[in-house]
Amino acid sequence: MGILAHVDAGKTTLSECLLYHANVIKTMGRVDKKDAYLDTDEAEKMRGITIYAKQAELNLEGRAFTLLDTPGHVDFSPETERVLQVLDICVLVISGASGVQSHTKTLWRLLRTYNVPTIIFVNKMDQDGTDKTKLLHEIKKELSVDADVFFDGDKISNEFVEMAAATDEALLSEYLEVGNLDNTKITELFNKSAVFPVFFGSALKDIDVDKLIYGITMLSPDNKYGDTFGARVFKITRDEAGNRLTHIKVTGGSLKLKDVIQGKTREGEDYSAKINRIYICSGIGKREVTEVHAGDVCTLFGIEETFIGAGLGFEENEYEELLVPVIDYAVKYESRTDKTKVYSYLKTLEEEEPALHVNFDEETGEITVSLMGEVQIEILKETVKKRFLINIDFSAGKILYKETINNKVEGVGHFEPLRHYAEVHLLMEPLPRGEGLIFDTVANEDELARNWQRLILTHLEERVHKGVLTGSPITDMKITLCSGKAHLKHTEGGDFRQATYRAVRMGLMCAESVLLEPYYRFTVEVPSDSVGRVMTILDERHATFTSPEVQGDYSVIEGTGPVSTLNGLQIEINKFTGGLGHFNAVVSGYDKCHNPEEVIENRAYNPDSDLKNPSASVFCMHGAGATIPWNEVRDYMHIPFMSEYVNEAVFELKPLSESVKQELSPDEEEKQLKQIFESTYGTIKSKFDVDYIDNDNVTYAWNGRAKARPEKGPVRRERPEDYDYEKEAKHKHGSNNTKKDKYLLVDGYNVIFAWPLLNDMARTNMDGARTLLQDILCDYQGFTGINVIIVYDAYKVLSHKAEITEYRNIHVVFTATAQTADAYIERCAYEMSTEHDVTCATSDGLEQVIIVGAGCKLISSRELEKEVTRVKEEGVNEYNKKVSGSVKERLKMPESLL
């Protein structure tokens, strides 16, 4: 049984009263006296509010219950929501002095979403001015018409029975014949959430709480469970020693010590864990047990793989929070504090509070968290200081925007560097606000096997896809896999990941994107003489609202408006009402941004520069990967568009992109690179063969076939085996081609562990291995004139800043903490490839794929070793020839001249 309420409605007081009636406590504790049984945390005692969900065991009228007390403050509503997934019954507490408040409505919507049978208890009826009739009318109007007073004296009220009978035709006929309904029929309706009993009383004065207890025991369901073990995780905590605790409700079978349970990680991987300890918690205490059964709420000790919302046994992982923060805050800390430790500590807290959404930006080094409000900010700062002994603060909050689309489009992603292949076609269409993302497939299994289709859907679900306006997450759209293609030999799972991501991105680039921002649903209550000013302020802040409703000396306005403009409104209302006005707001969802141009300009997001979310596709051209911009992909894709939703306006038939021309450049270095590839992978067979045509005719590629400009007529001829590439280059580009500076980017540790000599040395002396590699590449630079940059990975080095130094005639880079050498090289490859001739040396498979996709040349670590040896031998031979010639000349000279 859960107890929910708006803050200060008396929820904790009611919990104390129930525990008192169940003889769990001898005297009722009070929030103001800081001795409540369930508010055990110091922060809760100091502020007089419930922050963390707590549980207690109690027995009411001979029935055993686990009571789950939840936070009432809106800043901790995600904690409340997580409890709902394990409840059998709930008591929603409403203050008789305040009536149905804004957060009460939010909690009611959550209860209906999770379909939890709900009893309504109107508390504080001992206070002057409370009116049962008025409050019941408000409950029916704001919550449900199927709510009514349950008891009239010692029996169920006629009004409630009539209301219950009206919900079903068969019951109505029975009621009209007999004049009453059996209690079991009423209980069935209650457990179907068809009716909602209402009780009035006072928890502080213990008035009519006994009637509430009788109603709870009468209406609570007799759950029937299966024999197979299952459980749902609803909370993660840590004990005083830092041990991880997993809080579960058993939903089937039983669980004993030393049992091995099965589950899936957040990533969907299977795991098993042995149960070493089981606890039953009650208030601040806990007792160890050897077995728990279906319906029990218990705590498991030490399992690391679980997470909030996870299913154990036969239960599936299926939980997505509805209440999420909409403001991001950057974490601030002292300069001497290690950022990796701060990030690690916050990720630990994220396990307990998933709504934090802790994020680390590798480019800026900034750590951000998502928070609900000021109270949660203060609690988080206190928690970090208490548990991890460091001080943190937060910057001003930033609104969390989202993006969607306004029209149907088809996105195409192709990923085909050497010896890889995948193509994906996705139909993307907008959904109504609040629907989120829906993924589906209609692809033909004869064309794309079922296992590849499942993999593509997994890749769609596994990450947060960014929009192209501000880089914000996308939402409210259906993405349907309509076609795709794999290669029998060369396709791997990672290929479809790349193709899927690129297809989503290409679709977004083609679509008409819409920027969304979070909106509040609010209620403003002010003295009637201030209502005009409030309406003016709301209008200035882009809110929409109803006409004021006069309630005595006050006027009430309800409406919706952007979070970005309504934040801080309570402070302004306090100023001109002398503290008599109230502003209550909850996030109602996302809608169109009121100032998209301003937000987009301020964010200054460039989708083409977002290297982690590329919109371009990669095609294989003459044995190497060529990057094709998103608006040229249709000229190269291997499968035609599968739908009519193609935005023709964004596509222009263009000549082969510059990246392709670079791959087809026939200079001597390109020939040597081709030889290196063939020596490693065998003969390269190109999927495209673009013919030489004079400057007046430009060849286009279409689905793998050459296609000339239509008005010029098709021209096609095959290149002969002995084709003169040098002559073609001169004809196309002129004889005075400007050569680009050459750069060699070396993944230092990858090379060290790939070269036997350096690998052996690194086992005992890593510094020596690094120095020897640098000496070898200094010689290589001297022989070839190529600019050499060696990048070493400092990813796990604490508090290390990026360091770039000169070592003789080359450059050496040590990356910053939390930045890998892979990421550094990939970024450099993208940034340098357009202006310079860049070759990357690494044997990392994924890094090779990304580098080739960036339009750079590639050489493996072992091939670099051979290349260095060859260049050195040629250089030494040339040097010996020069020295030998010089000696011979000296011997011919007269002795006097010598």
The CA distance from 405 to 333, in Å, is 38
State residue 803's pLDDT score: 83
Residue 160 structure tokens: 């409630």
First to last CA, the chain: 107
State residue 713's pLDDT score: 34
The CA distance from 148 to 209, in Å, is 17
The CA distance from 134 to 150, in Å, is 16
At 77, the amino acid letter reads S
- Spell out, as residue ranges, where the chain has pLDDT lower than 70: 319, 363, 645-739, 795-800, 817-818, 845-850, 852-854, 879-898
- Beta carbons within 10 angstroms of residue 622's beta carbon: 18
State residue 189's pLDDT score: 93
Q: Which residues contact 559 (CB under 8 A, 6 or more apart)?
A: 521, 522, 538, 543, 544, 545, 546
State residue 112's pLDDT score: 92
545: helix, coil or strand? strand
The CA-CA-CA angle for residues 255, 260, 264, to 5°, reads 100
pLDDT tens digits, residue range 388-399? 999 999 888 888
3-state per-residue secondary structure call for 297-350 = EEEEECCCCCCCCCEEECCCCCCCCCCCCCEEEEEEECCCCCHHHHHHHHHHHH
The CA distance from 149 to 119, in Å, is 10
Burial classification of residue 505, based on how many CB atoms lie within 10 Å of its CB (0-12 exposed, 13-18 middle, 19 or more buried): buried
Q: Using the 8-state DSSP alphabet, how is residue 782 labeled?
A: H
The CA distance from 783 to 791, in Å, is 21
Q: Given phi > 0 = left and psi -120 to 50 = alpha, else beta, which region is 329?
A: beta
Burial classification of residue 365, based on how many CB atoms lie within 10 Å of its CB (0-12 exposed, 13-18 middle, 19 or more buried): middle
The CA distance from 700 to 713, in Å, is 12
Residue 380 structure tokens: 């988080």
State residue 42's pLDDT score: 79
